[in-house]
Amino acid sequence: MASITDFISAFKGGTRKNRFVVTGTWPSNVTNNITTYHIISASLPSSDLGVVSVPHRGRFANFAGDRTYEPWDITVLDDTNTSLWHSFQEWQKLINEHVSNLRSTNITDSFADAKRNWTVKHLDHNGNVLKTMTLVGCWPAIVNPIDFTMTQNGYNAFGVQINYDYFTG
C-alpha cells in the first residue's frame, strides 16, 4: 500500500494555473512595440484531428483527416496608457484598414508580413519551464473592448482572440 509520502514524491507538487509566461514579437510597423506583456489569462491551445469515415462492406473505416486549430484566447491587463490595446488595434489595421478596407501599405509583401510567432511557457513553482508551445503565424482576429463601469472595482482587462497557422511543442 502506497503512503502519502509516496504519493507526494510521485506527484511532485503538480502544476499551477498562474505559472506561465507569454512572449512574442509584433509586426515591425506597430509603433507601440511593447516588450512586457501583462497577460493575465492564456492557455495551451487545442487542436482537433478530423475523422474521415469511409464506408466499406456495410461498416465504416475511420482514417485521420485534416487537423484544425482552435483560436487562442488571451486576457490582457490594460496598462495606464492602453498601449497594449492600441498595439493590438494597430496590428489589426496592418491587416485591414478601418476606412479603406484594404491591407495597409505598411505591409511590404503580403498578409504573411503581419503574422508573428508567440510562445506560451508553462512554469513550475521555481520558475523552470515545464512545457513550451510556439504558435506560428499569429495575428489578432478579435480585439475586445475595454469595458468601463462605475459599479465595479479592480483592474481593466480586455480579451484578444488570436488565430494562428499551427503550433509546435
Expressed in percent and rounded to 5, the helix, strand and coil fractions of the chain are: 15, 40, 45
Residue 1 lies in a domain: no
Q: How far apart are CA 54 and CA 66, in angstroms?
A: 15
Print the domain residue range for 119.
Answer: 14-42+63-168
Domain assignment present for 93: yes
Is 126 within a domain? yes
Segment 40-98, tens digit of pLDDT: 888 878 888 899 999 998 999 999 999 999 999 999 888 777 688 888 998 898 888 77
How do residues 108-146 score in pLDDT, each as one tens digit?
556 777 899 999 888 888 888 988 999 999 999 999 998
Task: Please give the helix or strand (H or E) that residue 140 lies within, else none.
Answer: strand 129-143
- pLDDT tier, 1 (very low <50, low <70, confident <90, very high otherwise): low
Is 2 contained in some domain?
no
Residues facing residue 62 across a β-bridge: 53
* Structural domain contains residue 139: yes
What is the total count of domains within the chain? Answer: 1
Dist. CA 56–CA 5, nearest whole Å: 54
pLDDT tens digit sequence for 15-24: 777 788 888 8
Mean of pLDDT values over 142-157: 88
Domain membership of residue 130 (yes or no) is yes
Q: Tell me: pLDDT of 148 over 80.
A: yes
pTM over 0.85, yes/no: no
Instruction: Report pLDDT for 124.
Output: 85
The CATH number covering residue 85 comes to: 2.30.110
Q: Tell me whether residue 87 is in a domain.
A: yes
The confidence score (pLDDT) of residue 106 equals 60
Is 74 inside any structural domain? yes
